[in-house]
Amino acid sequence: MGNNKIAVGLDIGTTKIVAMIGRKNEYGKIEVIGTGKAKSLGVKRGVVSNITQTIQSIQQAVEEAEGISGMKIENVVVGIAGQHIRSLHHSDYITRENADEVINDDDIENLVNQVHKLVMLPGEEIIHVLPQEFKVDSQADIKEPRGMYGGRLEANFHVVVGQVSSIRNIGRCVKSAGLNLSQITLEPLASASAVLSNEEKEAGVALIDIGGGTTDLAIFKDGIIRHTAVIPFGGNVITEDIKEGCSIIEKQAELLKIKFGSAWPGENKETEIVSIPGLRGREPKEISLKNLSKIIHARVQEIIEYVFLEIKNYGHETTKGKLIAGIVLTGGGAQLKHLRQLVEYITGMDVRIGYPNEHLAGESDDALSSPAYATAIGLLYEGLKVATSEPIVEVVIKPVLEKTSITTTTVAPENIPETPTETKAQENPKPRMKNFLEKFTDKIKDFLDNAE
């Protein structure tokens, strides 16, 4: 099976590591053919802190995804986050030798490469160079310079920078797990491509992805990424606070948060109490839900105010920078009860919960459209964008999907023998996938009911 049709997203998170194998269907939507997840033990605040454990978790997630899909994973797209990420703005220009020829991809590539050569602080390297607007000669505010004439091509860039050591550690984990790292993407950008619609990006929107160890922010306006930030707090600090505040163990704190937690303290009555079994031979503990939501509220408020500060720094309060589509919350932390209301209250902006079904095929499993999978699906999408850019792909997949006389399509001769194996791969994993996913869905449904 040609590898240019499938891609694998590997989300190395603080709470879980997810490997997701998928391909594009005939309508250009993502079809997920295998998902594996493992507990992440070697990652703190989005940065790898224990190489050996992270390698083990990656292998576990990858093996599970391989088992379900019946495929071998080689190349993966990995997300990067962590408090070492910073972004800056930079303008640069090139002078074109031949102003009588129109501007093409090569010119833009030269310009982007020039920005990649920027000298960073010691120990930092550039992860992304994202053009904002272009300027050709003296004409400003051009979104698409290709095809125009001009001698001087200039652009404003959003440059994302990270720590070399953190990036190399992630690369090392992936390599040691026996995989190739095909690209590294900033996690907030991946989540954004899974969750946001083009209209929202056009109108102006802030995506807040609340993970276990970090909260990622990506701001779009006029369809272009304007600001990114990674804030080193997430769902785990909430659990940590519950653990300290109620003197219980972490596992119990996490369950309390998921099952009974709420970000809005007003709604629990004093009388609502949960009893928690004590450690061996000790009395059970009684915890009032009002206190629980007070603890959660205090911490969530802190995280949201941090993020809101970033949104203001970007310039949300200026007329030009107003984010009309408001805020979209995603990530596992977005499942906290009443979080949406709290965020609306603190920021005064419109808020919705973002489910990563923007590019998912219609018949995808419900479990996958949980906000907790936004990053994994986004990474898969980024990988497919690169993998399916060759035009031949469309032609090869078609005969498989509609086993009709279309097989006479103009396919390059060496691609024909691939068709039968492709069919097998498609028919085989379906029955196996279902029973695993049923088990999985029930767990998730149970979880979502409590989270809503």
In CATH, what number does 86-162 get?
3.30.1490.110
CATH 3.30.420.40 fits 235-297, yes or no: yes
| CA 145 – CA 176 distance, rounded (Å) | 42
Same fold, 1-85+163-196+358-452 and 86-162: no
| DSSP class of 362 | T
The tens digit of pLDDT for each residue in 205-255 reads 999 999 999 999 999 999 999 999 999 999 999 999 999 999 999 999 999
406 half-sphere exposure, CB direction, 13 A CA radius: 12
The tens digit of pLDDT for each residue in 172-189 reads 999 999 999 999 999 999
Q: Band the pLDDT of 389: cuts 50, 70, 90.
A: low
Instruction: Quote the pLDDT of residue 271.
Output: 82
Task: For CA atoms 59, 181, 333, 362, give the dihedral sign.
Answer: negative
Q: Band the pLDDT of 431: cuts 50, 70, 90.
A: very low
Per CATH, the homologous superfamily of domain 1-85+163-196+358-452 is: ATPase, nucleotide binding domain (3.30.420.40)
The tens digit of pLDDT for each residue in 266-298 reads 777 778 899 988 888 888 999 999 999 999 999
For 413, the token pair is 């001769």
What is the pTM assigned to this prediction?
0.81
- Give the domain ranges of the chain: 1-85+163-196+358-452, 86-162, 235-297
Percent of the chain, pLDDT > 70? 85
Which of 239, 263, 237, 238 has its CA nearest to residue 251? Answer: 239
For 151, the token pair is 């001698």
Q: Which residues contact 97 (CB under 8 A, 6 or more apart)?
A: none
Pairing between strand 205-210 and 215-221? antiparallel
Query: Is the pLDDT assigned to residue 4 strictly greater than 80?
Result: no
Q: Where are the alpha helices (DSSP H) in 261-370?
A: 289-314, 339-347
Instruction: Quote the pLDDT of residue 272.
Output: 87
Per-position b or e across 184-195, b if 16+ CB within 10 A of its CB: bbbbbbbbbbbb
